[in-house]
Amino acid sequence: MGIRPNPDQFDAYLKSGHGGEVVMLNLLKFRPRAEGEPGSGAEAYGRYGDEVKKMIEARGGTLLWQGRADHVFIGDVDSNNWDAVALVSYPSRESFVEMVSTPEYGKAHEHRDAGLSDTVVIACTPVVSEL
């Protein structure tokens, strides 16, 4: 599984029609040891998070929640073996794309690459219920 979006995934996201808030659901599996830098995979990912949190906030976004994935309640345990989960809100799809397209993000992403063995990132949009 890839740590970065493939070109088709990125292109489809760029063309999506949603214009408001987007929340990124991040499912994370850490390497036991970081690849190419000191410490554990979780420590490398922490360095990524420290740098990227500032970029997110500078664009009006926020880290909504992060925590350990302790127990698979429903589903196949072997296919859902995540270490951590994070929810990050961005004011728009455009603000997210702009951030991940900067050289600063590319540099910080090196820690993410070093720390993760697997990930799934799902772009989520609010659903407005009609009462």
The pLDDT score that the predictor gives to residue 2 is 61
Q: Does residue 9 fall inside a structural domain?
A: no
Specify the number of domains making up the chain.
1
The pLDDT score that the predictor gives to residue 66 is 96
The pLDDT score that the predictor gives to residue 77 is 67
The pLDDT score that the predictor gives to residue 85 is 96
Q: Does residue 43 fall inside a structural domain?
A: yes
The pLDDT score that the predictor gives to residue 117 is 95
Q: Does residue 55 fall inside a structural domain?
A: yes
Q: Domain of 108? A: 21-124
Q: Does residue 99 fall inside a structural domain?
A: yes
Task: Read off the pTM.
Answer: 0.86
The pLDDT score that the predictor gives to residue 80 is 66
3-state SS record for the chain: CCCCCCHHHHHHHHHCCCCCCEEEEEEEEECCCCCCCCCCHHHHHHHHHHHHHHHHHHCCCEEEEEEECCCCCCCCCCCCCCCEEEEEEECCHHHHHHHHCCHHHHHHHHHHHHHEEEEEEEEECCCCCCC
d(CA 117, CA 22): 25
CATH number of residue 91's parent domain: 3.30.70.100
Q: Does residue 112 fall inside a structural domain?
A: yes
Instruction: Please list the pLDDT of the chain residue by residue as tens digits (131 residues).
Output: 466 667 777 777 777 777 789 999 999 999 999 999 999 999 999 999 999 999 999 999 999 999 998 887 787 766 668 999 999 999 998 899 899 999 999 999 999 999 999 999 999 988 876 55
Q: Does residue 47 fall inside a structural domain?
A: yes
Q: Does residue 129 fall inside a structural domain?
A: no
